């Protein structure tokens, strides 16, 4: 039982709580998630089961897309409506000003993560320091907002859709938008509608499934390991080479010369699959085709990053 589940996380539950529920329902040995959602947030939460937990390092790098609603005129210590209000003022804005602010924070930007977040400081998440009254200023980070689209204005609420890089805090974005508009703002609602190639329309809402049907439904909706790496180029290999890779052998040009190898450059990521579709390994090209020579066919061609024992 190895694979990926896409859950539609409800509001009020932590991402870790969803992991625990899936682990209990399936009786799985190892379960983890990629891309934490705050308790307030809902939407796409990829859950990795057993062997698929090795994929977390690759899935966590994916871009995200959200639908966010911010409350103008209210600032809180947590940058969302669940925190203590620190300032309140009447928003004096119009559609033009809101669109300008969204445009201003599109592209590569620098933002300060919330003090109430899971970012670690001296081994502990920032929220644990904040709850003790210790104010830790997190280091600014550079993120990319690919697009921000205004969807609705019902003052003091504004709803917009944002596509962004990993590590982008929508709470921080709302706070920055509020400062730009001169009235302050905080996040009122957040729904993740996409994480990499995983979309909301393929997500499972556990709360909508009767208890006795949950296990069967989750097993039916489980995505195979290779389906979590749709963006990676595939190289199909036979069982003999798959066994060698799983034993720790690093493929060189001589062992790969009989396979169709797409045109790849140094640093490109690839996945090795068996003819049956089982995921064998994720690797990085260390010697592109343009650097190979017939005089050195034993030159290592790839660096194995992760090996999988996947039997679909």
Q: Which residues are catalytic?
A: 38
What are the tokens at 183?
């009235």
| Residues paired with residue 186 on neighbouring β-strands, in sequence order | 71
Closest CA to 170 of 74, 41, 52, 47: 41
Q: State the burial class of residue 16 (Cβ atoms within 10 Å of its Cβ: 0-12, 13-18, 19+).
A: exposed
Sign of CA dihedral 220, 225, 227, 228: positive
CA distance 6 to 202: 7
Closest CA to 187 of 11, 63, 9: 11
Q: Which residue has the tokens 């039916």?
A: 220
What are the tokens at 257?
């010369």
Q: State the burial class of residue 156 (Cβ atoms within 10 Å of its Cβ: 0-12, 13-18, 19+).
A: middle
| Residues paired with residue 150 on neighbouring β-strands, in sequence order | 160
Is there a contact between 137 and 117 (Cβ–Cβ < 8 Å)?
Answer: no
| Residues paired with residue 116 on neighbouring β-strands, in sequence order | none
Dump strand ranges (E) for the chain.
3-9, 31-33, 42-49, 64-72, 74-76, 85-88, 107-111, 120-121, 124-125, 141-154, 157-164, 185-195, 198-199, 233-237, 269-274, 279-285, 302-307
């Amino acid at each position: 039982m190895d694979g990926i589940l896409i859950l539609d996380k409800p509001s009020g539950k932590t991402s870790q709580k969803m992991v625990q529920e899936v682990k209990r329902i399936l009786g799985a040995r190892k379960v983890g998630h990629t891309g934490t959602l705050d308790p307030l947030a809902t939407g796409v939460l990829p859950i990795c089961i057993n062997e698929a937990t090795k994929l977390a390092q690759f899935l966590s790098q994916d871009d995200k897309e959200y639908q966010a609603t911010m409350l103008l005129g209210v600032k809180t210590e947590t940058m969302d409506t669940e925190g203590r209000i620190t300032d309140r003022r009447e928003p004096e804005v119009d559609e033009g000003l809101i669109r300008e602010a969204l445009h201003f924070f599109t592209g590569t930007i620098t933002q300060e993560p919330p003090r109430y977040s899971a970012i670690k400081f001296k081994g502990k998440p920032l929220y644990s320091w904040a709850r003790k009254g210790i104010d830790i200023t997190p280091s600014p980070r550079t993120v990319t907002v690919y697009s921000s689209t205004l969807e609705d204005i019902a003052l003091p609420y504004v709803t917009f859709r944002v596509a962004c890089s990993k590590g982008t805090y929508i709470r921080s974005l709302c706070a920055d938008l509020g400062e730009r508009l001169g009235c302050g703002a905080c996040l009122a609602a957040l729904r993740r509608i996409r994480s990499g190639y995983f979309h909301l329309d393929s997500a499972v809402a556990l709360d909508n499934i009767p208890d006795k049907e949950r296990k069967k439904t989750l097993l039916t909706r489980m995505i195979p390991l290779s389906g979590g790496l749709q963006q990676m180029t595939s190289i199909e290999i036979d069982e003999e080479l798959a066994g060698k890779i799983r034993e720790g052998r690093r493929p060189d040009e001589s062992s790969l010369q009989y396979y169709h190898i797409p045109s790849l450059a140094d640093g490109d990521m690839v996945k090795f699959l068996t003819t049956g579709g089982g995921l064998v390994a994720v690797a990085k090209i260390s010697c592109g085709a343009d650097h190979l020579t017939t005089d050195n066919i034993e030159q290592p061609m790839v660096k194995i990053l992760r090996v999988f024992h996947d039997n679909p």
